[in-house]
Structure 1
Amino acid sequence: MVLGLRPEREYPVAPLPLPADPTGVPVGELAASPAVALFIDRARAVRHDFALTGGNAAAVVGICRRLDGLPLAIELAAARIRLLDPDALLRRLVDSLDALGTGTVDLPERQRTLRATVAWSVGLLDDAERSLLEVAAVFEDGWTVDAAAQVAGLDGDRALELFEALARQSLVSLDNTDHGPRLRMLETVRAFIAGRLAARPDLALIQRRRSDYYRALTEQADRPLRGAGHSEWAERLQTEEGNVAATVEWYLAHDRAPLPHLFRVLWPFWEQRDHLSKARWVEELLPTADSLDHQARAELLWTALVTASDMGDDPAALDARQRLEPLLAGIQDPYLQAVSQLAMVWTAPIVGDLDGALRRVSASLEQLRGQDEPYWTAVAVASAGNVETAAGRYDEALRRLSEARELADQFDNDWLAAWLRVQLGTLAVVRGRPDEARALLDKGLDRSSAAHSTPLVSMCLVGFARLALAEGDPERAARLAGAADGLRRRVGQRAWPLVRRSEAELVDQARQAVGADRFDYLYAAGCRLNQREAVAAVRDRSGAVSPS
């Protein structure tokens, strides 16, 4: 505790460094982690034969991570090893902080349980500090001073002053970021404070204020996500992902009216940051679509359509398409009208209508060129290029995709720039230009990996598979095609409809070239690769796989 005396010096006891994901990490390396080493040492104090093994390492790491690396918490947890094995202890930790039990008898009473320790610290706060700390428990994975001030109904300067006091008592941590101070609460502290928040009579008001704040923040991101401010706002939404998710869940439970618009705004962020699993929210709202006004219904169905198309869920995509199409003529918002036409293009291959797709993409592009929509204009031009590629008109496809790349580079959208390089690289393979293809695909893979985008990395792998086949290496092609399929399957996705046919032809050609049995082995080996291993397989030009 800080006393505030002039000669006093603070020496914060930081949480111990935590090990990373224990999967595949040697036990000795895990045991060297400070948090795990403390757990082992204190566990041996109560059970001399305790050892970290391959069987219990994951649970021990889970315990240390659950306790945020707090030395006191880890000591209290390790003391329970006398009666509980690590797996059982971890299960109890998930359910209750009280699973830590009591400390040794020579500890002060306030330190005998973690709950008692936190309660003692909170009891030392004045009313204003305690109230703001309780309000802060409504946030998920951190918050800004501005967010907390609005939710608590405080002036920003007053909120910052109170948080600085809470930080001095180690109940919150304060970091300076590019967007101003950001605060966090250790999960072990938050679990206790959340119980106090739940007992407050104004809990519903606090939750509504939190949700209204992040709804406004999300709506503010709409235009920047579609233009030159994309990167900055995508990072802000990524940072606030937990709070935005809690906001959506609150509106689902209390007030669904704003959600169709929020989903439409969030979709570019979901797609480019591998968050398409959020489609479950859209699916939850779809049964109410017919009760919405025209604009909200169109926004909801558009989001459902493009999400299902990206996930490769053809039945859901066709259902949304059939429900959205009759609404097109009545959509008054020029932007929504244009992107709704574009959504029809993406699903046209499912119904075998490439000619219709070209007509729709032309209409969409004409509308978007008259608006200030750099992102979607580039996407529409690229979509036209994809349709031309699928139709075998490669010169026109090259013109379209090159224009789209120039547009993407002008407003510095890394995701779109990566996608277009992959598309151009794939087209270069088809046009018989292997050196050009390799250079484009290499750049596309670098950018796709940096963006951690599963769809883009998968598409890159298919591009390299196509290049390998063209260069006479069908075994490498089989393995890389399998790697792409494996990555997609693990996140519940399939190939986009516009490229699905050509990818199926690639797989058939590789199978015929190496034989069914050998192909199945190579493809399965590729499917088992994670993203890091798949990228390494591309960088390894040999792509060799030992015989089965």
Structure 2
Amino acid sequence: MQQNNPLVFESSGWEVDLAQRELRARGLTVPLGSRAFEIVEILVQSGGELVTKDDLMRRVWPGLNVEDNTIQVHISAIRKALGPDRGMLKTDSGRGYRLLGDWVIRQENQPRHVEPVNRPRAAIHPFLTNVPVAASALIGREMAVQHLCDLVSAYRVVTLTGPGGIGKTVLASEVARRVFPTVESDVLFVELVSLSDPDLVPSTVASVLNLQLRGGDEMSPESVARVVGDRKVLLVLDNCEHVIDAAARMAEALVRLCPHATVLATSREVLRIEGEYVYRVPALDVPAQQVEAEGNVLEHSSVQLFIARTRSLQADFGPQAEKLPLIAAICRQLDGIPLAIEFAAARAASLGIQQVAGRLDDRFALLTGGRRTALPRHQTLRATLDWSYELLPETERRLLRQLAIFPAGFTLEAATAIANQTESWVALGISNLVSKSLVALDGTEAAQRWRLLETVRAYSLEKLAESGEHEQVVRRLARFCVALFAPFATDDQLQSAIDELGRYRREVDNLRAALNWAFSPGGDAALGVELAAIASDFWVALSLVAESSEWADTALAQIGDAAGTRSEMVLRCSLGFALIYTKGMSAHARDTLTRALALARQFQDFDYQQRLTCGLWLFSARSMALNDALAFAREYEEVTRGRDLQFRATAAWLVGIPQTYLAEHNEASERLQWAVGQYPVVRRRIDMMRLGADVRASALAHDTVNLMSQGRLDAASRASQSAIEEARATNQPFVLCVALAWAAGFVSLGLGELDRAREYGEELVDHAYKHALRPFYAAGLCVRGSLLARRGQPEAGVGPLRSGLAEMQEAVYLLFYPFFRAELAAALGAMGRVDDGLCEIEASLRFAIETDYRWFVPEMLRTKGDLLALRDTDHPSVIEDMYRRSMQQANDQKALYWELSAATSLAGHLQRQRKDAEALAVLAPVYGRMTEGFAAPSVKRAKSILDQLS
């Protein structure tokens, strides 16, 4: 709109002054960027009619291709300016916008006709800039630059904020260079970093703008702004934080008094003035903690910057694939801060990547040597942080030092506890540190949480140590953790703690920090013992069984005056269970559980009596002391007699499992199925910690042995699938390993379903290895060896079988031991080493008889018959007798499937002797009793022989 047509549009206290190019609310100017004002101008002149997006883009950005998000930035700026009346700007989705309201036009001596806005873009005079040419390519910031270019045309004041070294100045300079050809204004860069006196800010700005103030005018923000007047200028105020109040007053005066002035500021602290848009400069993106493919690592901007800067100092630098994980780790530890990465790249060019990666713990000594032309505070990482730290008042320095004690970030509750101040005082301090870019929000509005960048935290920890406050602060952290994790040690609060596990999971590194200090030479072992006991169930809930063992062991080694107390009982219980799962059935595990049970009886602690009874039951069952296991199960029945259904269901599970391996299949199956049906699912998460197992998943897995033995093969297959599904739902590694081991070993191998055995077996190996569950890893190795042998590669299978069996023996995890020793015997026979195979099966049979491991004896006898048949020196009647013994043993156990297996081998043996009628008489009656499982390979083999015989 031309200056000689001073139209003012008015509606409900709002004014759009086209001559002054101002948006006013009740007479007060509301800051609005130049192009945002042009949008308002077009909309207000449309009289409430729809203005399409295409029309706005054509008229506000003539000749330029702009994207939808550009116009969205400007629409957001207008709505922000309208404040509570933002509803006046209405969006017609997908079409355009209209400005609502009863707008009245005020004008003097002018026709009422309103000319449309369509300004020419040619500049009347050349505009000026002093922004320096870029020294190097800007990496990883293209989206940020584009967004900021939109912001400076939508808002009058845009502040780039962030911690030292994040790249605020470089980014602001690039934005200034990028917008200069299009903004039709001067673009001038004002460096404030060298100012020691805030009163010099106005004169510095005046000097850069080349202003001539009238004689006698006091040098003030207002006097400078009045001289700027209507001049079109984008002013970059760089490094405002140390003169923040003066810089804010200067920016505020320019925006208030100069309708064509825009301010782009960089500061570690926001200006806090009317109309300011704060843009928090993000770090460069860094590779995730988990291992990534080479191509993925190279896609991250932090890695690209590291490589580019290293290459600029070492022309032939080209990172080999094996070096990329180290580069990724360096960038991750430096939080993606560009300045720190540039320092690291400079050191890598001279020392090598390995040296830099290994010395980042001493990063402040290592990361020096920035560019000679850089500001002094940007020539070492320590100087960069010294600058920010020295600008803080002492109260905020102290709070920053104390907050560094949290490696995992902190809540307001946690910060208040370690600061030993009121919550309101701490909240204000955190807010101030956030505004100064030293603390970052690391949560949500609903669950607020903050953290220090790792580099800021390392610096602040040094300051904490220098202050002499470290011991008292970390002691407060330990006390806070005692209070925080207390619900895990309280029976009536345990369920709610598990339900809120995500909240506690976020504190795990803080808990580790407290425990590490407590058990260190200068720590407080008594406090550590208390904390380790309180948190023992937390580690199990988090599926960190190995870590549970480590902390319990550490605490018991420094038990001191807590010996004989409830803390010792809890720690021994935790350690005993953890040892079973991670190391196996060692004498140390048994003694630990036995001592804990004695303490539980002494304290008459029902909860721990049942836990520890179950622990010793588990130890006995897995070490093949089946009668001992049954005795502990009966003891549990007695301890829980008359209690709720969950205890009766648990007792049925405990009794049913040893009965399974004692070959009492019918009664065992009934008990286990009753336990699955009656056990209340709502209790499973608590009971997994108390009992060291999941009743439902475990009962289903063990019952597959009964179902398969009884010939209910389809039911066994379904039960194994259900056990895995139940186990996955618990999210507990040891529970899933139980289900996978039974499904891969007893069921899939037992039925000859080799593809399924391989699928479950490999998952078992991977899962057990990942979670350091040694006994289950051994079972997985045995599955792998059995599959190789059964698929015609017995030589390859013997190695994994022997390794797995040796691991089982060492861990005294023996439930699978006879089963896989029979597999080894068969593999040796397939290799032609029949006598070695017979030695293995004989040893396996002796072991089974000694331990009452009765359920698999029929199959071991059948395997012995197969080996004798391979030797070809024994009389056929000896082989036949072995098969008949197997059939009889299976029949006595009501184990139809093992009877069918033996009958199939015997029928084949008789068939080879041309005794077809006798073979048919042996196999047909047993096969006729089968009611399901006809798709199983072993059953199909029996049917094939019957078809030949008939």
Asked which structure has the greater CA Rg, the reply is 2
- 1:435 to 1:239, Cα distance in 2 relative to 1, 3 A: farther
Partner of 1:470: 750
Q: 1:274 aligns with which of 543, 553, 559?
A: 543
Partner of 2:553: 283
- 1:440 to 1:351, Cα distance in 2 relative to 1, 3 A: closer
- 1:260 to 1:149, Cα distance in 2 relative to 1, 3 A: closer
Partner of 2:629: 357
After superposition, give the CA deviation of every residue in 1:405-435 in whole Å (9 maximum; x if it has no partner): 6535234739959773354045235413454
Give, in angstroms, the shift of residue 297 of structure 1.
Answer: 3.3
Give, in angstroms, the shift of residue 134 of structure 1.
Answer: 0.8
SS in 2 for 1:11: strand
2:512 is aligned with 1:245: yes
2:432 is aligned with 1:165: yes
Partner of 1:529: none
Within 5 A, what are the aligned runs for 1:217-236? Answer: 217-223=484-490, 228-236=495-503
Partner of 2:671: 399
Within 5 A, what are the aligned runs for 1:321-400? Answer: 321-324=593-596, 326-349=598-621, 353-364=625-636, 367=639, 382-394=653-665, 395-400=667-672
Query: Which structure's residues are more often strand, by fraction?
Result: 2
Q: 1:8 aligns with which of 249, 257, 276?
A: 276
Segment drifting more, 208-217 vs 493-502: 493-502
- 1:269 to 1:87, Cα distance in 2 relative to 1, 3 A: same
Distance in 2 between residues matched to 1:133 and 1:35, nearest whole Å = 27
Distance in 1 between residues matched to 2:444 and 2:661, nearest whole Å = 46
What one-letter code is carried by the residue in structure 1 that aligns with 2:682? Q
Distance in 2 between residues matched to 1:419 and 1:52, nearest whole Å = 52
SS in 2 for 1:143: coil
Q: 1:319 aligns with which of 588, 591, 596?
A: 591
2:340 is aligned with 1:73: yes
Give, in angstroms, the shift of residue 97 of structure 1.
Answer: 2.9
Give, in angstroms, the shift of residue 317 of structure 1.
Answer: 0.7
Distance in 2 between residues matched to 1:43 and 1:353, nearest whole Å = 64
2:436 is aligned with 1:195: no
Give, in angstroms, the shift of residue 53 of structure 1.
Answer: 1.7
Give, in angstroms, the shift of residue 457 of structure 1.
Answer: 3.4
- 1:252 to 1:377, Cα distance in 2 relative to 1, 3 A: farther
Q: 2:362 aligns with which of 74, 80, 95?
A: 95
Within 5 A, what are the aligned runs for 1:355-504? Answer: 355-364=627-636, 367=639, 382-394=653-665, 395-400=667-672, 402-403=674-675, 406-411=678-683, 413=685, 420-421=696-697, 423-428=699-704, 430-432=706-708, 433-442=712-721, 444-445=723-724, 448=727, 453-465=732-744, 466-474=746-754, 477=757, 480-481=760-761, 484-485=764-765, 487-489=767-769, 491-495=771-775, 500-504=813-817
What one-letter code is carried by the residue in structure 1 that aligns with 2:349? R
Distance in 2 between residues matched to 1:37 and 1:225, nearest whole Å = 53
Distance in 2 between residues matched to 1:492 and 1:91, nearest whole Å = 26
CA contact (8 A) 2:284 2:301 kept: yes
Segment drifting more, 32-41 vs 315-324: 315-324
Give, in angstroms, the shift of residue 322 of structure 1.
Answer: 4.5
Segment drifting more, 310-319 vs 386-395: 386-395
SS in 2 for 1:10: strand
SS in 1 for 2:774: coil
SS in 1 for 2:443: strand
After superposition, give the CA deviation of every residue in 1:311-351 in whole Å (9 maximum; x if it has no partner): 21513212314534544542233322332322222222467
What one-letter code is carried by the residue in structure 1 that aligns with 2:748? A
Q: TM-score, normalised by structure 1?
A: 0.82
Give, in angstroms, the shift of residue 84 of structure 1.
Answer: 2.2
Give, in angstroms, the shift of residue 493 of structure 1.
Answer: 2.8
Pairs aligned (count)? 517
Distance in 1 between residues matched to 2:416 and 2:469, nearest whole Å = 15
CA contact (8 A) 2:624 2:815 kept: no
CA contact (8 A) 1:341 1:364 kept: yes
Distance in 2 between residues matched to 1:420 and 1:360, nearest whole Å = 20
Distance in 1 between residues matched to 2:343 and 2:686, nearest whole Å = 47
2:780 is aligned with 1:508: no
Question: Structure 2: where are the runs of 5+ without partners?
Answer: 1-267, 777-807, 832-950
After superposition, give the CA deviation of every residue in 1:492-519 in whole Å (9 maximum; x if it has no partner): 433389994332234234445555899x
Give, in angstroms, the shift of residue 193 of structure 1.
Answer: 0.3
Partner of 1:295: 566
What one-letter code is carried by the residue in structure 2 that aligns with 1:503? F
Segment drifting more, 400-409 vs 490-499: 490-499
- 1:288 to 1:173, Cα distance in 2 relative to 1, 3 A: closer
Within 5 A, what are the aligned runs for 1:119-130? Answer: 119-130=386-397
Distance in 1 between residues matched to 2:766 and 2:774, nearest whole Å = 10
Give, in angstroms, the shift of residue 19 of structure 1.
Answer: 1.6
SS in 2 for 1:431: helix
Partner of 2:576: 305
Q: Which one has more relative contact order, counting CA pairs under 8 Å at least 6 apart?
A: 1
Give, in angstroms, the shift of residue 152 of structure 1.
Answer: 0.4
Query: Which structure's residues are more often helix, by fraction?
Result: 1
Give, in angstroms, the shift of residue 156 of structure 1.
Answer: 1.7
Distance in 2 between residues matched to 1:479 and 1:141, nearest whole Å = 37
What one-letter code is carried by the residue in structure 1 that aligns with 2:538? F
SS in 1 for 2:416: helix
Partner of 1:256: 525
